[in-house]
Homo-oligomer: A and B are copies of this chain.
Amino acid sequence: MKFSKKRKLILDFILNNDKHLTADSIYLELKKDNPELSLGTVYRNLAQLSENELIKKISLNGQIDVFDKNLEKHGHLICDLCNSINDIDISPLEETIKKMSEKNNVSMTNYELTLHGVCKICENEIKE
């Protein structure tokens, strides 16, 4: 994989960002300082970078794909109110899920867990 200027730009942006980013949000943000950047390039790079496991592609609630710098196995919490996405540790489930796949007689290659609820920030706003 070649490391073009655009590719570095996109990768750095993701690595230096704590949010879960959509292709479009990356495009819009980077376009501010790089007006010639095209959305197609962003999509092509996100595909390339996630194939090469430098970032992680997450298909959560259908609609929009989101990209994550956290390559570790983890779950997501999507807030019902603000739609924010937060990573959660799912190591406590690891064992049970493995057993489950054995019980179902399947050789598991991967799994995804997504919780829906109200995030801490929104919870606090309600209390006020």
**Chain A residues close to B by CB (< 8 Å):** 59-63, 65, 77, 80, 88-90, 92-93, 96-97, 99-101, 104-120, 123
The minimal Cβ–Cβ distance linking A46 to chain B, given in whole angstroms, is 13
Instruction: Report how far A26 CA is from B107 CA in the complex, Å.
Output: 30
Q: Which residues of B contact A115 (CB under 8 A)?
A: 97, 100-101, 104, 106, 108, 110-111
Main secondary structure, interface of A, reads mixed
Find out whether the CB atom of A109 lies under 8 angstroms from the CB atom of B117. Answer: yes
The minimal Cβ–Cβ distance linking A91 to chain B, given in whole angstroms, is 10
- Some 11 contacts from A to B, beta carbons below 8 A apart, are A59-B62, A62-B62, A80-B109, A97-B115, A104-B115, A106-B118, A109-B118, A110-B115, A111-B114, A111-B115, A112-B114
